[in-house]
Amino acid sequence: MKNQTGMMLIEALVSLVIAAIALLGTVTLMAKSTRSEMESYQRVQALTLVQDMVSRINANRQVAACYSNGSAGLSTTSVPLPVCATGSAVQIATANADLLAWQNALLGSSEVSSGNKVGAMIGAVGCVDQVVDPVNQIYRVSVAWQGLMSTAVPKLSCGKASLGDNNKRRVISVEIQIANLTTT
């Protein structure tokens, strides 16, 4: 009978290759998990910002049209506030203050690290546009941002000018209807 020499070494090498492949798979899974976690965090931030603006519009509903800035929206660049001709001076000032506060939130001013605003999504853009039906006063509040992974291209135009029409642009929107409470 012949002695088998080196068989233990081959078994050890095969085990090392299997372990290396398993570790590589684990690292890949962790990287995808981190990207998914960031996507989820950005979506939660966007939902919070949308609900914030919906609440602001509901609180100042007499001049809801003053909030409408169209699909260009408020973003990281300095955008002029929408011109408003309805309502009292206080209501218009409140709408402008709300839009400025919302723009600061879109810029991430709620979270600062080493002097940098880091509390927002990547390239956040906020849009308030009136849906075509002016009689029913329906407004769409949207937040767009740049995602990390490719998905379907959103159909809404919010953020399209600054983020482009690509498969990494994300948009979340809520439609609200402002009731006409005046008597006729």
As beta bridge partners, residue 75 has none
Closest by Cα among 117, 125, 179, 134 to 157: 125
Closest listed residue to residue 45, CA positions, set 115, 107, 128: 107
Q: What is the pLDDT of residue 118?
A: 65
pLDDT (0 to 100) of residue 1: 56
Tell me the mean pLDDT in the region 126-153: 86
Please give the pLDDT value at position 78.
58
- The per-residue pLDDT for 117 is 62
| 103: number of Cβ within 10 Å | 22
β-bridge mates for residue 177, sequence order: 138
Triad 171, 177, 182: Cα angle to 5° = 155
pLDDT of residue 140: 93
**Span 80-133, pLDDT tens digits:** 677 787 888 899 899 989 998 998 888 887 666 666 666 678 889 999 988 877
The per-residue pLDDT for 71 is: 57
pLDDT score of 58: 92
Q: What is the pLDDT of residue 69?
A: 75
Q: What tens digit of pLDDT does each residue of 34-75 get?
A: 988 988 899 999 999 999 999 999 999 888 888 887 656 666
**Helix and strand element counts for the chain (H, E):** 3, 5
* 29-33, 89-93, 119-123, 167-171: least confidently modelled range: 119-123
Please list the residues that pair with 151 across neighbouring strands: none
Model pTM score: 0.77
Residue 149 scores a pLDDT above 90: no
**pLDDT for residue 67:** 87
The C-alpha angle 110, 115, 118, rounded to 5 degrees, equals: 45
pLDDT at position 119 is 66
DSSP per position, 101-141: HHHHHHHTTTSEETTEE-SS-TT-EEEEEE-S-TTTTEEEE
